[in-house]
Amino acid sequence: VQLQASGGGLVQAGGSLRLSCAASGRTSAANVMGWFRQVPGKEREFVAGITRSGGRTDYADSVKGRFTISRDNAKNTVSLQLNSLKPEDTAVYYCAATPRGWPLRGEYHYWGQGTLVTVSS
């Protein structure tokens, strides 16, 4: 599975962004898809995950109520809507996929290249 993320950019605090990730190749292996983020010098952290059907989602406590993950299986895409952004949301965001099922915070096997989100105060 190849993953291509896009949609990052510079936004003021309180603003919104929408990240998208397109999957190609053996998309049948993208059963669970998710988003992670990483700040230089820190470990990569889970942000959100979604099952293939979209019926189950999971979010990090730090983004719950502000971010929304969704997927379009017909287009092989997963998106992350980022609302009410804070400076501490600044990071490189990565989309990821795995053929396994629940839990959504488990190991992921395929990774995109990352897209930078910068939130100014």
Tell me how far apart the alpha carbons of residues 121 and 88 are, in angstroms, rounded to a whole number. 10
pLDDT of residue 116: 98
Q: What are phi and psi of 48, to 5 degrees?
A: -160, 155
pLDDT of residue 34: 97
Structure tokens of 43? Answer: 């470990």
Is residue 102 very low, low, confident or very high in pLDDT (cuts 50, 70, 90)? confident
pLDDT of residue 72: 97
Question: What is residue 75's DSSP assignment?
Answer: T
Q: What are phi and psi of 87, to 5 degrees?
A: -55, -30
Query: Distances from the Cα of 48 to the Cαs of 19, 26, 71, 80, in angstroms?
Result: 12, 22, 12, 8
Residue 9 near residue 113, CB atoms below 8 Å? no
Collapsing DSSP to helix, strand or coil, 110 comes out as: strand
pLDDT of residue 19: 98
- pLDDT tens digit sequence for 26-85: 999 999 999 999 999 999 999 999 999 999 999 999 999 999 999 999 999 999 999 999
How large is the greatest C-alpha to C-alpha distance in the chain, in angstroms? 41
pLDDT of residue 70: 98
Which pairing describes strands 9-12 and 115-120: parallel, antiparallel, or unpaired?
Answer: parallel
